[in-house]
Structure 1
């Protein structure tokens, strides 16, 4: 008897049996039950055989479930994404799309603390959270449905995930989705009584603007992710300028952020001297980095990169905190000297700069006039109105201001009369050969004359020889800084140095 006939018998038997049950003897009833059991056994054996055939077929098929899904999270993998994109881009080659790359950070610590089995469980749960957050984003590519929930997350492997978005109608959709995921998904997870913290970082590459191949878009989205996670304030979206930063540079900037927290930085100071009275007027500070593997690094090794990548402001905050604390230390020791700090154009664009300085002065009971901020000429070329507004606020606070490296650029000349500065600083490139070059001498003389006419003081940096000092004095410049007086030394020794300097005869050289 075929399976179909047996099934029909199975379906019709209870109805017929109900009508005749009362007339059937007990033996007939038992025979019917045995027949029914036999039919069910045949059906079960058939179903198992069919399921086994399906599994064998699926395992033999290179596009089966396990080859298209991650074995840890169960979510579609990179091959599934590639398969879907091949079909999608054939249908809609002119549409705008975005690849959103998502990375779980701090996962190595989870692995170390909880082991692989527990961390795999957490990884799968985080993936579920991300996908749940995407349920109201119909622009995201849907791979499949599970229990009526759309699966819109792709697991690329490890702790990397991806979402493919149709951004034709909303240009910045991927950024909105990325911000939403970074903000709302990371909530502590409780495992064996421990709260596990993690963060999400994201990077975005747009099709076809940043590439037309998945591999190319993935590389550029990952580069954007690195910038966004390592360099705070950077957008998640790929930009061609990111290609200029090597992995080594990005790593260095990430290490610099950590160096600030780990006290790997040190301040050195170089005195500024009144060349007539030999009195110490101020000390300019320079930051050095005691890198654990690269050794002592000079500012030229990392400051420009820090400014380009947005790390400069936390660095400036640290320098200013140390400088104001040193001013307080000098005052407590009965020593009188200002501290000069270089600040970046990026610093002038920070709204909280003035407020943070005001807090430091109040905390250490320090007069604002004892801090000098040296500003580069180029600081006025980027957002000049905002930079000027910050400079004016600093002036009203009482901070002394100097225009650094004056004469090397032209951007500030138009603003010079409007700037509430007290000093201009002549670049050392003019001072070094002042007594050897008529051109340098003429330029330096012109700067000094212009500054005097504007009622500004002049600071000459790079004074290394007595002949240069004497020529500057004849030109009308009385404030100098350079090796003639002292090489830079650690700021912690500034108080001792000042005491020794005051006890020396009034000569041209320092102790």
Structure 2
């Protein structure tokens, strides 16, 4: 009977295993086929993207090379004077340096004036197409035109010659050679073939690394494959070449129906599915081994299960309740004893696994630090102990600066290495008995001080900031780190773990936004707190009771010494607190959304004040700051336009100042809003330039008229040569882009002369005048006497 039971157990489990494995193998086979098709499609998509990127990079590089010749003064003079011999010589010399196959110069209408080819007049149509392509786009990467010239394929780039109006065009043709094909092969493991139509109406491979036999095979299948692709609409073709089946993606390069040019990107099917074939064999072998092992194990297990296990029911029920602490006593040496031993082993194993699962659920896999859940438990215990013992604890929360930039530029592997380095840095110098360091997720970390207060947390935050000041080398790339740090303490800021962590996070976000390095929680940062609600109510009353005051700080032209404008600033004349500076209520207003009402008040008062000054014969440009919330307000441009009309203020008299960080919060919407203001005729300025992380490639597309150098570079520039170099670089950059430059933070006379010497246009600061009530500005302007620029230059040079 025991043998029959064992046989049934073995047969049942072995049959189930075989059934599961058959189904599994069928599903794996289906998944392999699907993944192989997806891989081929993804490879083709990637190949096409890489090919487009290579063409764009080539077009950009070639346009820049051609632009050097177009910008040459002597070359433009030769074109204006009609000196053909000089033009041809310049075209040949520059074309040889740039690697151009031929060079052509035309007049402003595209009529060919000279060229380096004998048949240059026959290329008039190609030249005009290249000029039309370049004239239709401002993107150098999209300005290239691919055309066949003879048996070769060239990339034509056209660049206008301006003095300052367009007086002609330089068109250069660069032959596509095997470097492009080899780059594609190296980057994507795909074969690239450039196919063009011959004069007889057939097709030829103008550029390829395939052997002659493979090329002829591809061309013979070209028309049927192209027709099948067009009928399916899938833009995927198949070619049966001598070295196997290939799938291909067709990418048109030219824009001419008479002389079409196509790029065919080939991917070998055999190479794509080879890893999957190996996987299939490995699965078969593993299945065989699994069946054999399972058959043996089932037979052994079936022979041991022969006696009822009723006596172990109570013990099994205890284990089911999660009681793993009490060991299962032995039950002799028979089958029951063996089953009891198995239960004991199971108890220990399950106990260990539950401990591991509990630990893994509370630990960050990358840094091996506690995760958010683990840190929350630690904070909960520390807060409970601090409340019970009437002591204290604190949370320091930090968010890394520029981590997303590291991920985007150096890759996620470098980002992971950076997080691990930061984790080690945070643990250094902190005792595990008194501190818990955790990674909360992404680039956020936190430190729990189990026994400490705000001062202790400040000391820890300064230690962290000092550690982050050191540059970090990641695979040969130097990374400068920083962090926004928030601090909250128990019981000063919260007496429960949830609010303590939330308020530390609020302080951290404030430190990031205000770029102060670290910040201690205060009630007005929490829009949900009673103090914040009270402050919000007081701000509303300030508008209703007219407690806000408009202050103006003059802006002076460094060359003429004339007062040319003023920056509009807000002050709060609180009935009990006195004059409240903006730093104490503007951050809260931005967080709560009340900044829009403040901006509206500031716009109205600024335009009313401008009208008052203009009526007195004082015409100045008024600068007004906009916040990130203002830039995403779709109704703001209409409100500004209505106010300009109401107060009879010309748009050019208003300059809107926007910080880099405000623009980069939502670049697309910010650019749309700025373009609306630009179309209305308002002036715009980038405030605090040099302190944000926006790229120059993005900033140059913004419709701005002025860069405002941050005060941190201006205040010590006459003592710090590095600051002076930064200021000079910003001035040169702005002037090259056609922008004015304003320097804020002018607090010493020596800086006045040095700024003028560096070519800065406008300055403002306490040395000129502190912000003053708006009604005092006309009298101050009347009494302003500008220092002579050369005197201050001499003073600056003597420092």
TM-score by length of 2: 0.33
2:776 is aligned to 493
- Secondary structure at 1:369 match in 2: helix
Distance 1:481 1:243, change over 3 A: closer
Q: In structure 2, how many angstroms separate the alpha carbons of the residues matched to 1:361 and 1:440?
A: 39
CA contact (8 A) 2:525 2:588 kept: no
Distance 1:506 1:442, change over 3 A: closer
Moved more, 409-418 or 276-285: 409-418
1:331 aligns with 2:614: yes
2:645 is aligned to 362
- Aligned-residue Cα RMSD (Å) equals 2.3
1:255 aligns with 2:538: yes
1:305 is aligned to 588
1:386 aligns with 2:675: no
Q: 5+ unaligned residues in a row in structure 2: which ranges? A: 1-495, 500-523, 792-799
Q: CA deviation at 1:325?
A: 0.7
Q: CA deviation at 1:244?
A: 7.1
Q: What's the CA shift string for 1:341-398, capped at 9, x where partnerless?
A: 1110100111111111111111111101001111011112222111110000001101
1:356-435 equivalence runs, <5 A: 356-411=639-694, 413-435=696-718
- Secondary structure at 1:289 match in 2: strand
1:4-403 equivalence runs, <5 A: 246-403=529-686
Q: What's the CA shift string for 1:446-485, capped at 9, x where partnerless?
A: 1111111111110000111121111111211131001121
2:736 is aligned to 453
Q: In structure 2, how many angstroms separate the alpha carbons of the residues matched to 1:458 and 1:324?
A: 23
Q: In structure 2, how many angstroms separate the alpha carbons of the residues matched to 1:368 and 1:494?
A: 21
Q: In structure 2, how many angstroms separate the alpha carbons of the residues matched to 1:506 and 1:443?
A: 25
Q: What's the CA shift string for 1:28-64, capped at 9, x where partnerless?
A: xxxxxxxxxxxxxxxxxxxxxxxxxxxxxxxxxxxxx
1:186 is aligned to none
CA contact (8 A) 1:369 1:398 kept: yes
Which structure would you say has the larger RCO, counting Cα contacts within 8 Å and 6 or more residues apart? 1
Q: In structure 2, how many angstroms separate the alpha carbons of the residues matched to 1:506 and 1:243?
A: 47
CA contact (8 A) 1:431 1:461 kept: yes
Q: CA deviation at 1:340?
A: 0.7
Q: CA deviation at 1:326?
A: 0.9
Q: In structure 1, how many angstroms separate the alpha carbons of the residues matched to 2:527 and 2:647?
A: 42
Distance 1:400 1:429, change over 3 A: same
CA contact (8 A) 1:376 1:404 kept: yes
CA contact (8 A) 1:377 1:412 kept: no
Q: In structure 1, how many angstroms separate the alpha carbons of the residues matched to 2:610 and 2:700?
A: 30
Structure 1 runs (4+) greater than 6 angstroms displaced: none
Q: In structure 2, how many angstroms separate the alpha carbons of the residues matched to 1:245 and 1:486?
A: 39
Q: In structure 2, how many angstroms separate the alpha carbons of the residues matched to 1:456 and 1:505?
A: 24
- Secondary structure at 2:691 match in 1: coil
Q: In structure 1, how many angstroms separate the alpha carbons of the residues matched to 2:546 and 2:526?
A: 31
- Secondary structure at 1:477 match in 2: coil
- Secondary structure at 1:381 match in 2: helix
1:202 is aligned to none
Distance 1:453 1:326, change over 3 A: same
Q: In structure 1, how many angstroms separate the alpha carbons of the residues matched to 2:670 and 2:704?
A: 13
Q: In structure 2, how many angstroms separate the alpha carbons of the residues matched to 1:288 and 1:422?
A: 27
Q: What's the CA shift string for 1:223-257, capped at 9, x where partnerless?
A: xxxxxxxxxxxxxxxxxx99675321221122112
Q: In structure 2, how many angstroms separate the alpha carbons of the residues matched to 1:244 and 1:290?
A: 22
Distance 1:466 1:242, change over 3 A: closer
Q: In structure 1, how many angstroms separate the alpha carbons of the residues matched to 2:783 and 2:754?
A: 27
TM-score by length of 1: 0.51
CA contact (8 A) 2:659 2:688 kept: yes
Q: CA deviation at 1:412?
A: 5.1
CA contact (8 A) 1:460 1:480 kept: yes
CA contact (8 A) 1:460 1:477 kept: yes
CA contact (8 A) 1:373 1:400 kept: yes
CA contact (8 A) 1:378 1:412 kept: no
1:4 is aligned to none
CA contact (8 A) 1:259 1:265 kept: yes
Distance 1:505 1:308, change over 3 A: closer
Q: CA deviation at 1:505?
A: 6.6
1:462 is aligned to 745
